[in-house]
Structure formats: structure tokens, C-alpha cells
């Protein structure tokens, strides 16, 4: 029986992780869970279904509300809250694998705490590596922890590399659907609405990553994530637009052989892979791909001009500096402002560039430098927003 902690249980990845657990009750057990305060009734329902012994929510008010929602079930579970609660979930002594399915920088501290306990991280929260890859990866080595990626592209690369190392690769082909604006003109993209941007052609995901997919910042963040995860120079990471989202990414070996992983665009597949790694276990819920039904797979060059966010992230991907943390933090603030209709879609890359221009970068940052850069970037982005709206 593999015991699991799940951080972000009510979100898109979190719910799909629970679906995988539900399909494999004989092999997987959730011992601890954390969620935000937006879907407490759903969280209470999941607690009743999966019976973890420890849970956490953001604050004491959410904790009392959850207690009420749980009724007598509340006697069987320890309810914690805040940063401490999140850390308790991440470090539950029985958990072997910790699924990090929260959005944003919030994932960094619990992930670091779980790594220090030598846990395996099923990493969905890419922002942890984007902001702090230079600190996190050495910690993984030091504490003999492991990261198994949940992001579908990185799960594909992980599977394709199996048994080989960065020294064997000449390239990583990182696929991107191109998002909802793949065929839109510059002018149309500039004025895209929230509804347009949330209308992803292939994937159903949380709001922040869906907007990141529309700007293509998501692919830029994934270059940085891949660089740290696979210890490969970003110059060797080639983004390729693949609108069908069937090839989830591929690696090109030095001898010219390209090995990739295919499947329907369904997050339960990489989640299943990460939860059972290193074993391959039969799944009854992951949809099967019938190769005879595939008519064609298409590939295109990305357009860095129409998608400046991709260029902003790709340009700093080779650095080990606070600039990636600043980009990550400012992006969280600016995307939230777009979702609240405070700024236009076209303003997103402009504000990110402005924040980066004002930042005094520190190279080879410590965790404290990263925390400070994150704080500074949020404040800076907020003041730019204040001035503009
Ligand atoms: N969605 C995908 O298909 C997908 C694919 C690849 C990678 N990822 C990555 O996976 C991560 C999660 O994405 P998502 O789309 O699943 O996001 P999401 O749907 O927005 O879910 C976020 C989760 O975090 C919880 N949360 C918020 N504040 C919290 C707090 N203070 N403490 C504990 N939990 C908190 C939310 O709870 P409430 O909503 O209940 O408040 C929710 O359960 C992101 O880093 C994303 O880039 C996602």
C-alpha cells in the first residue's frame, strides 16, 4: 500500500489525483490532504470518502467551517490550518509520496519540507522549480528525495529518458498545444477577453494555468522546469507547437533517435504514472489511445512575436538568478488582475517586462533571496497595477 499526502485536493489536478486513488483503493491510501477555502463542501466530501487522518485549510475560520461540514466525521481527523498545517500535510510521517497540486509560489515551502523528509514528490506545482530550482534540486540530492513530474510534458520526458541521462541527449522537444490563440492575429490577442483566454482547446485546468497557456507563459515556465528537472541546458530545449496534444513531449538522443510518449490529453495518465512510479500498473480510468484512429499529428514552430510571454521566460531560462522568481511572482499577480478584468490581455507581457526591468537580480540565490525577490515582485506588480487601473 502506497501512502500519499495531497496538497491542493479540490483543484483540477487534486480531484484527478483522487480519481486515480479511488480507482486503486487496494494500492493507494491518502493519509493527509490540504485545500484552499473556496470549495470547503467538496473538501469535506473528499475527507469523508478518503478518510485521511490529517487535513489542513488556509485559516482558522475555514478550519471551523470544515469542522461543521464534517459533522461527526470531524472526530476522526485532525484539522490544522495555515502554513504550519500545510507543512504537517507535506511531512506526514506515513506519506511516501506527496502530490503538490497547489498553484503558484505557495507550493514552495511544503515541497521543500517534504524533500527534507526524503519523500517522493509527485510534482504538479511547476512554480516551485521555476522560482527556486537552483535551491530545490540540490536539496533533493542532499536528502535522497525524488521528484516524479506530473506536468504531462515532463512526465513524457521522464518516461522517454528512462535509463539515460542529460549527457545522452542532444535535445528535448517540449510540445505545446498553442492554446486558444494559436491562429489569432496580434491585434486579436491583445484584446482577448477572459472568456476567450479560458477557452482552452484541449485541456480542462485551473484558471491560472489556463491563462498561462493562452499567453504561452506556461510553456516558458515549463522550459525552466525542464531545465532543472533534467539538468539540461535550456538551449537544448526546443518548443514545438503540436495542436492535437497527443505527443506529450519527446527526447532526441545524440544518435538522432527521438523517443516520445503519446496518449490522450488527460491528466489522470501522468498522475497515475507518478503515483505508481517506478511500477507500471493497469489503469481502468485512463482512456486508451487507438493509433489506428489517429489521422495525423502536426507540428509547427512557435511564434515568439505573437506570444511575448514565451520569449520573456525563454530568455531568462538559462540563468540561476532571482529573475525567474520575480517573473513567476509578477505573473501570478498580473494573471489574477487579468482574471478580475483589471487589465487587458495585451498588458500582461508589458507589465512583466516592466517588473523585470526594475529588478536588481541576484545570481545563485539562497532560499531567503528567493523569498525576498518573490515579495518584492508582488509588491512591484501591485503598484504598477495600481497606477494603471
Ligand atoms: N490542471 C492541470 O491540468 C495541470 C496540468 C499540469 C500542471 N498543472 C500544475 O498543477 C498545479 C495545480 O493546478 P490546478 O490547475 O490543479 O489548480 P487549481 O484547479 O486552481 O487548484 C489549486 C488547488 O490549490 C488549493 N489551494 C489554494 N490555496 C491553498 C492553500 N492556502 N492551502 C492549500 N491548498 C490551497 C485550491 O483549493 P480551493 O480551490 O478549494 O480554494 C485547489 O485545491 C499548478 O502549479 C499547475 O501549473 C496543472
Query: What's 2-149's CATH class?
Result: alpha beta
Chunked into runs of 10 residues, the chain (389 residues) has average pLDDT values of 98 98 98 98 98 98 98 96 98 98 97 98 98 98 98 98 95 97 96 95 91 98 98 97 98 98 97 97 96 94 98 97 98 98 97 98 98 98 93
What distance in angstroms lies between residue 336's CA and the mean position of ligand 1's atoms?
A: 14
Residue nearest to atom 42 of ligand 1 (CA): 11
* Cβ of residue 20 lying under 6 Å from some atom of ligand 1: no
From the CA of 309, how far away is ligand 1's center (Å)? 21
Ligand 1 contacts CB of residue 243 (under 6 A): no
Residue 206 alpha carbon to ligand 1 centre in Å: 6
86 lines ligand 1 (CB under 6 A): yes
Q: What is the pLDDT of residue 215?
A: 98
Q: Which atom of ligand 1 is nearest to the CA of 125?
A: 45
What's the CATH code, domain 319-389? Answer: 1.10.1740.10
Nearest to 82 by CA among 34, 135, 18: 34
Ligand 1 site, residue 127, Cβ cutoff 6 A: yes
Q: Is the CB of 218 under 6 A from ligand 1?
A: no
What confidence score (pLDDT) does residue 162 get? 85
Query: Residue 202 has what pLDDT?
Result: 85
pTM of the predicted protein model:
0.97
State the pLDDT at residue 201: 87
C-alpha cell at position 320: 540561476
Partners of 250 in beta bridges: 173, 260
Q: What are 89's three cell numbers?
A: 500535510
Residue nearest to ligand 1 atom 30, measured at CA: 36
- The response to whether residue 206 sits with its C-beta less than 6 Å from ligand 1 reads yes
Which atom of ligand 1 is nearest to 203's Cα? 3
Report the pLDDT value the prediction gives residue 260, as an integer from 0 to 100. 98
- Expressed in angstroms and rounded, the spacing between residue 43 Cα and the centre of ligand 1 is 13
The rounded distance, in Å, linking the Cα atoms of 121 and 112 is 10
Ligand 1 pocket test: pick from 7, 12, 43 the residue with the most ligand atoms within 8 Å of its Cβ: 12
Cβ–ligand 1 distance for 9 under 6 Å, the answer yes
Domain edges within the chain: 2-149, 152-265+286-315, 319-389
Amino acid at each position: 500500500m502506497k501512502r500519499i499526502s495531497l496538497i491542493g485536493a479540490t483543484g483540477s489536478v487534486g480531484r484527478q489525483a483522487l480519481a486515480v486513488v479511488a480507482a486503486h483503493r487496494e494500492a493507494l491510501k491518502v493519509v493527509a490532504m490540504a485545500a484552499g477555502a473556496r470549495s470547503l463542501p467538496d473538501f469535506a466530501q473528499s475527507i469523508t470518502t478518503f478518510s485521511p487522518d490529517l487535513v489542513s485549510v488556509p485559516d482558522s475560520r475555514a478550519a471551523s467551517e470544515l469542522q461543521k461540514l464534517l459533522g461527526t466525521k470531524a472526530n476522526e481527523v485532525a484539522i490544522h490550518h495555515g502554513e504550519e498545517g500545510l507543512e504537517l500535510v507535506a511531512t506526514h510521517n506515513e506519506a511516501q509520496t506527496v502530490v503538490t497540486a497547489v498553484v503558484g509560489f505557495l507550493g514552495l515551502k511544503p515541497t521543500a519540507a517534504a524533500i527534507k523528509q526524503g519523500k517522493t514528490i509527485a510534482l504538479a506545482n511547476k512554480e516551485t522549480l521555476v522560482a527556486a530550482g537552483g535551491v530545490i534540486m540540490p536539496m533533493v540530492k542532499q536528502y535522497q528525495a525524488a521528484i516524479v513530474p506530473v506536468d504531462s510534458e515532463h512526465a513524457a520526458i521522464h518516461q522517454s529518458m528512462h535509463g539515460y541521462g542529460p549527457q545522452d541527449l542532444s535535445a528535448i522537444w517540449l510540445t505545446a498545444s498553442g492554446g486558444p490563440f494559436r491562429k489569432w492575429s496580434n491585434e486579436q490577442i491583445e484584446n482577448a477577453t477572459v472568456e476567450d483566454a479560458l477557452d482552452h482547446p484541449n485541456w480542462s485546468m485551473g484558471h491560472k494555468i489556463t491563462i498561462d497557456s493562452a499567453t504561452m507563459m506556461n510553456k516558458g515556465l515549463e522550459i525552466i522546469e525542464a531545465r532543472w528537472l533534467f539538468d539540461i541546458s535550456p538551449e537544448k530545449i526546443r518548443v514545438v507547437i503540436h495542436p492535437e496534444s497527443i505527443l506529450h513531449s519527446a527526447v532526441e538522443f545524440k544518435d538522432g533517435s527521438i523517443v516520445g510518449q503519446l496518449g490522450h490529453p488527460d491528466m489522470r495518465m501522468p498522475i497515475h504514472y507518478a503515483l505508481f512510479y517506478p511500477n507500471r500498473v493497469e489503469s481502468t480510468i485512463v482512456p486508451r489511445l487507438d493509433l489506428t484512429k489517429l489521422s495525423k499529428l502536426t507540428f509547427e514552430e512557435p511564434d515568439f512575436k505573437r506570444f511575448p510571454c514565451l520569449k520573456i521566460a525563454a530568455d531568462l531560462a538559462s540563468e540561476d538568478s532571482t529573475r525567474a522568481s520575480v517573473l513567476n511572482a509578477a505573473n501570478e499577480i498580473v494573471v489574477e488582475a487579468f482574471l478580475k478584468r483589471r487589465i487587458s490581455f495585451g498588458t500582461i507581457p508589458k507589465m512583466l517586462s516592466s517588473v523585470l526591468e526594475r529588478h536588481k537580480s541576484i545570481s545563485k540565490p539562497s532560499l531567503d533571496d528567493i523569498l525576498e525577490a518573490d515579495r518584492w515582485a508582488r509588491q512591484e506588480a501591485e503598484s504598477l497595477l495600481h497606477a494603471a487601473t
